[in-house]
Chains A and B, each alone.
Chain A
């Protein structure tokens, strides 16, 4: 008998021996921690054996424990396969946690201020071990989450799982979809680069269209924190991104999940009679227990999905980071984030208020109340031809509108600016100006012209020689008028751009610069296909040494000005463009020059 007034471990040791006493203590602890499973039960579960004691101990963690209280203790085997869920709901939940965890790591290294946000990004990428990986994972996860949640909604629409009694589950799901979109959108601004600033500026400008004007203006001010997005706007987006939206997301995820458990996973439509809902009545032979089958399966999915994301981020995906945000410089080809492109596309159809506010409102609002409108009982595909057509039309429409949202569609800049941009733009939207990836050693100083291809690839030296002679000719044949040669005009243009030059002699692209050659060929091609707008055009690339390891590239386009109407060249009777003539009846020569600098360590060729 113990000296203590209660039985002690020492008594147990005396009575049963050390080994047995220790085992009992451990076994008891395990059972408490798992809320019902002792070591033997766990071993059986992991081995895939049937439970050896009754009542089934594997149900107790669901009944007594906190963590599993909102997971069903068993599933219908009809819903545990890939169809009908495609694991999309589970994946959505996975991304909620994945984004939270990676986001917390990023928060440690980030300050939401225009002064330091961008340099914090550079620090994360260049000075924080695994910083780039975590950032890539967070960004890729965000884009994937939007996609997965949207697909989850489409699946639910097609299998009619929103019908009674799951109307409210669907409703919270639409809210979660919107929250996901806004979370992704608010996170877009935080790197404070050009991509972020302009994508968000475009997105936020839609809000301005909200009628009446006083509401739109003030909503816009409230969100941006001023007429332009600045320090206030960045801080607001940050707080919304890390506090407000996640809080709402967790609340609605909880509600959504609770409703799923309450009503059970809806069965494939053909598995139950019309108008019936038998999800909660699972026959004994169809039961798949959470412990161990569903649990191990989910752990496997966590591992596999995480692995896929990591592999993608390590070898295939780099989150974009463009130049520092600059409200003064609007980049060519700015678009909203891809998941808001459909609104940007719709806006090009006309009225800002209708297409920017009312139309998206109808789409999202319509989706939210769908289960209360579509009250037909049958979930069978055959009985739902209209709704399935509506769903497919919605997909087609949003794809089409998204395409219209791209800058390629219906936004035209002059051809010369487009071509110069095409050749020189810094990395953006996973594209890069064609001149930038040329290996540094191929950028040999000199003057190169697209006219070298004029007589075909066999006569390049001859073409360049003729061209050099041509640009020394005065523009006019009239000997009484002294006018500049093309050479002098170019020299003046270059000098104005800060490149001192007096005489210009072009030379063929050297043979040991094949990529430069390819770009010049492409350049010539771009001028050729735009020859109605760029009449008698030629282009040139001037490469000069600026510093050790730093080259300057001047890209020139010169052409005869043509008459245009609504951005399109006017064609004459013979199908040729009509030239604009000066007082002497001669064509007017136009020039456009852009210069960039390329450093040997910039590694643009890795993009």
Chain B
């Protein structure tokens, strides 16, 4: 019937063309329907090949310091095939317990600080706080005793996540990627094989970004359900972040805190013995101390602007009753060492770091004072 009704009445080329168009539609539609699954499969395949490439790069470039099985080299590179890197918590119940104790501790501390808390209650709180500290220590010791071998190598079961220990806010993926890109210049201090270099071409290293991505994928592929055996196999745990105060204080000169016990009057008196260099003061201001990050013209919301600092101090600040008898130097020194003592109008937040006494030496503070004394233009306030 089809023959009589359709095929016999249409010229062959029209029939063939029509059938071919329909076939194109059907095949394309069939492909389109399966496209989601195909794309997923391709991404899996691509990740797999990326891991293979990363493995090859790792053997050549990384295994000297981190060892070819990724468990690290004692005294050189930390283990990457390592539950701590992936933030694996072996003792979730104890972690929970400690978290609860800490929550309680904080609440008690707040209560103790209230003005209407009676002395009797304060004594009660102090007793409980002490009990909590003992309890926390007991739980921590219990956890530590179970992984003693790893603890001996610098592992702390309460600090089970490398990224948390560093205060890293991104993902583990971005942490590894970024570390590969820039390396770890500071690791020269504690690695026998020297600092981890920057690997990305963008940062002066040998690898392209796609290769950095491959190595990242390879390292991430170590993630699994970790066992204590995995933990004990790690040969080297990452060093805890270095305290910035000790890091900068590594210079031989004593800091303000060490030399003058952060006493403002003593510092001001000592300033007479050194000559400040406004040029290096400016370098400090814009560079390592990062003052310029907040004290910029027009910012206005976070901190007073740099422009006209000296004018402002002389013309408006020192006229205030609480600064009677202050010299401009004393005002500046006190503002740097104790930024919370006086919050300039109009009520800037108390956001300035209070640890400059640890970071600065007498010479540096003299440089800063000299630099700020050059800001004699009109004040934007």
* Interface, chain A (partner B; CB < 8 A): 48, 115, 118-119, 122, 125-130, 132-133, 296-297, 299-300, 302-304, 306-307, 310-311, 314, 323-324, 326, 497-500, 546-550, 552, 595-603
| CA of A548 to CA of B13, assembled, Å | 57
Measured between beta carbons, the chain B residues less than 8 angstroms from A546 are 55
By beta carbon, the residue of chain A nearest B28 is A310
Measured between beta carbons, the chain A residues less than 8 angstroms from B20 are 300, 303-304, 306-307
Q: Which of A299, A549, A598, A602 has the most CB of B within 10 A?
A: A602
Measured between beta carbons, the chain B residues less than 8 angstroms from A499 are 68
Given contacts A595-B56, A597-B51, A597-B52, list 20 more A-B pairs with CB under 8 A. A48-B11, A126-B42, A129-B35, A133-B28, A299-B17, A300-B17, A303-B16, A303-B20, A307-B20, A310-B24, A310-B27, A311-B27, A314-B27, A324-B210, A324-B211, A500-B69, A549-B221, A596-B56, A601-B47, A602-B49
- Residue B193 CB within 8 A of the other chain: no
| CA of A127 to CA of B38, assembled, Å | 10
Residue count of chain B within 8 Å CB distance of chain A: 45
Residues 11-51 of B at the A interface (beta carbon under 8 Å): 11, 13-14, 16-18, 20-21, 23-24, 27-28, 31-32, 35-36, 38-39, 41-49, 51
In the complex, the answer to whether A547 meets B221 with C-beta atoms within 8 Å is yes
- Residue B53 CB within 8 A of the other chain: yes
**Mind listing 5 A-B residue pairs with CB under 8 Å?**
A130-B28, A133-B28, A300-B13, A497-B59, A547-B55
By beta carbon, the residue of chain A nearest B44 is A601
- Residue B208 CB within 8 A of the other chain: yes
Measured between beta carbons, the chain A residues less than 8 angstroms from B35 are 129-130
In the complex, the answer to whether B55 meets A552 with C-beta atoms within 8 Å is yes
In the complex, the answer to whether A133 meets B31 with C-beta atoms within 8 Å is yes
Q: Which of A310, A500, A601 contacts B68 (CB 8 A)?
A: A500
In the complex, the answer to whether A601 meets B24 with C-beta atoms within 8 Å is no
Residues 208-242 of B at the A interface (beta carbon under 8 Å): 208-211, 218, 221-222, 224
Q: Which of A48, A296, A596 contacts B17 (CB 8 A)?
A: A296
- Residue B148 CB within 8 A of the other chain: no
In the complex, the answer to whether B210 meets A597 with C-beta atoms within 8 Å is no
| CA of A127 to CA of B40, assembled, Å | 8
Minimum CB–CB distance for A500 against chain B, Å? 6
Q: Which of A302, A304, A596 has the most CB of B within 10 A?
A: A304
In the complex, the answer to whether B210 meets A548 with C-beta atoms within 8 Å is no
| CA of A307 to CA of B39, assembled, Å | 23
Provide the B62-92 mask, 1 if CB < 8 A to any CB of A, else 0: 0100001100000000000000000000000
Measured between beta carbons, the chain A residues less than 8 angstroms from B68 are 498-500
| CA of A498 to CA of B52, assembled, Å | 15
Q: Which of A297, A499, A547, A548 has the most CB of B within 10 A?
A: A547
In the complex, the answer to whether B63 meets A599 with C-beta atoms within 8 Å is no
In the complex, the answer to whether B17 meets A303 with C-beta atoms within 8 Å is yes
By beta carbon, the residue of chain A nearest B14 is A296
Q: Which of B23, B41, B53, B222 contacts A547 (CB 8 A)?
A: B222
Q: Which of A128, A303, A497, A600 has the most CB of B within 10 A?
A: A303
In the complex, the answer to whether B43 meets A126 with C-beta atoms within 8 Å is yes
Interface residues of B: mostly helix, strand, loop or mixed? helix
How many A-B contacts if CB must be within 8 Å?
112
In the complex, the answer to whether B27 meets A597 with C-beta atoms within 8 Å is no
In the complex, the answer to whether A300 meets B222 with C-beta atoms within 8 Å is no
Measured between beta carbons, the chain B residues less than 8 angstroms from A601 are 44-45, 47-48
Q: Which of A122, A314, A547, A598 contacts B31 (CB 8 A)?
A: A314
Minimum CB–CB distance for A604 against chain B, Å? 9
Q: Which of A127, A302, A314, A597 has the most CB of B within 10 A?
A: A597
By beta carbon, the residue of chain A nearest B51 is A599
Q: Which of A127, A300, A499, A598 has the most CB of B within 10 A?
A: A300
By beta carbon, the residue of chain B nearest A598 is B52
Measured between beta carbons, the chain A residues less than 8 angstroms from B45 are 601-603
| CA of A29 to CA of B17, assembled, Å | 27
Interface residues of A: mostly helix, strand, loop or mixed? mixed
Minimum CB–CB distance for A399 against chain B, Å? 33
In the complex, the answer to whether B11 meets A296 with C-beta atoms within 8 Å is yes
By beta carbon, the residue of chain B nearest A48 is B11
Measured between beta carbons, the chain B residues less than 8 angstroms from A128 are 39
Say whether, besides A122-B46, A552-B55, A597-B52, A303 and B24 are in contact (CB < 8 Å). Answer: yes
| CA of A546 to CA of B52, assembled, Å | 10
In the complex, the answer to whether A296 meets B222 with C-beta atoms within 8 Å is no
| CA of A596 to CA of B32, assembled, Å | 35
| CA of A434 to CA of B314, assembled, Å | 83
Measured between beta carbons, the chain B residues less than 8 angstroms from A302 are 17
Measured between beta carbons, the chain B residues less than 8 angstroms from A314 are 27, 31
| CA of A596 to CA of B53, assembled, Å | 9
In the complex, the answer to whether A550 meets B221 with C-beta atoms within 8 Å is yes
Measured between beta carbons, the chain A residues less than 8 angstroms from B49 are 599, 602
Listed from nearest, the 4 A-B pairs whose CB atoms lie closest are A300-B17, A303-B20, A601-B48, A599-B48
By beta carbon, the residue of chain A nearest B16 is A300
In the complex, the answer to whether A597 meets B44 with C-beta atoms within 8 Å is no
By beta carbon, the residue of chain B nearest A297 is B13
Say whether, besides A548-B221, A550-B51, A300 and B39 are in contact (CB < 8 Å). Answer: no
Say whether, besides A127-B39, A500-B69, A602 and B31 are in contact (CB < 8 Å). Answer: no
| CA of A122 to CA of B46, assembled, Å | 8
Q: Which of B44, B49, B63 has the most CB of A within 10 A?
A: B49
By beta carbon, the residue of chain A nearest B208 is A324
By beta carbon, the residue of chain A nearest B45 is A603
In the complex, the answer to whether A307 meets B210 with C-beta atoms within 8 Å is no
Measured between beta carbons, the chain B residues less than 8 angstroms from A498 are 59-60, 63, 68
Q: Which of B13, B43, B68 has the most CB of A within 10 A?
A: B13
Measured between beta carbons, the chain A residues less than 8 angstroms from B60 are 498
Say whether, besides A48-B11, A547-B221, A307 and B24 are in contact (CB < 8 Å). Answer: yes
Minimum CB–CB distance for B25 against chain A, Å? 10
Measured between beta carbons, the chain B residues less than 8 angstroms from A547 are 51, 55, 218, 221-222
Measured between beta carbons, the chain A residues less than 8 angstroms from B11 are 48, 296
Measured between beta carbons, the chain A residues less than 8 angstroms from B16 are 300, 303-304
By beta carbon, the residue of chain A nearest B41 is A603
By beta carbon, the residue of chain B nearest A131 is B39
| CA of A323 to CA of B214, assembled, Å | 12
Minimum CB–CB distance for B233 against chain A, Å? 13
Minimum CB–CB distance for A573 against chain B, Å? 46
In the complex, the answer to whether B17 meets A127 with C-beta atoms within 8 Å is no
| CA of A314 to CA of B28, assembled, Å | 9
| CA of A198 to CA of B32, assembled, Å | 34
Q: Which of A303, A497, A595, A602 contacts B21 (CB 8 A)?
A: A303
Say whether, besides A498-B68, A500-B68, A500-B69, A306 and B24 are in contact (CB < 8 Å). Answer: yes
Minimum CB–CB distance for B157 against chain A, Å? 24
In the complex, the answer to whether A129 meets B24 with C-beta atoms within 8 Å is no
Measured between beta carbons, the chain A residues less than 8 angstroms from B52 are 550, 596-599, 602
In the complex, the answer to whether A602 meets B59 with C-beta atoms within 8 Å is no
Measured between beta carbons, the chain B residues less than 8 angstroms from A500 are 68-69
Measured between beta carbons, the chain A residues less than 8 angstroms from B224 are 548
| CA of A47 to CA of B27, assembled, Å | 29
| CA of A326 to CA of B214, assembled, Å | 14
| CA of A326 to CA of B206, assembled, Å | 12
Measured between beta carbons, the chain B residues less than 8 angstroms from A598 are 52
| CA of A133 to CA of B33, assembled, Å | 13
| CA of A581 to CA of B17, assembled, Å | 74
Measured between beta carbons, the chain B residues less than 8 angstroms from A304 are 16-17, 20
Measured between beta carbons, the chain B residues less than 8 angstroms from A307 are 20, 23-24, 27
Say whether, besides A130-B31, A300-B20, A324-B210, A125 and B42 are in contact (CB < 8 Å). Answer: yes
Measured between beta carbons, the chain B residues less than 8 angstroms from A297 are 13
| CA of A403 to CA of B43, assembled, Å | 37
| CA of A499 to CA of B63, assembled, Å | 10
In the complex, the answer to whether B210 meets A119 with C-beta atoms within 8 Å is yes
Minimum CB–CB distance for A325 against chain B, Å? 9
| CA of A503 to CA of B14, assembled, Å | 74
Minimum CB–CB distance for B230 against chain A, Å? 12
| CA of A140 to CA of B210, assembled, Å | 27
Measured between beta carbons, the chain B residues less than 8 angstroms from A324 are 208, 210-211
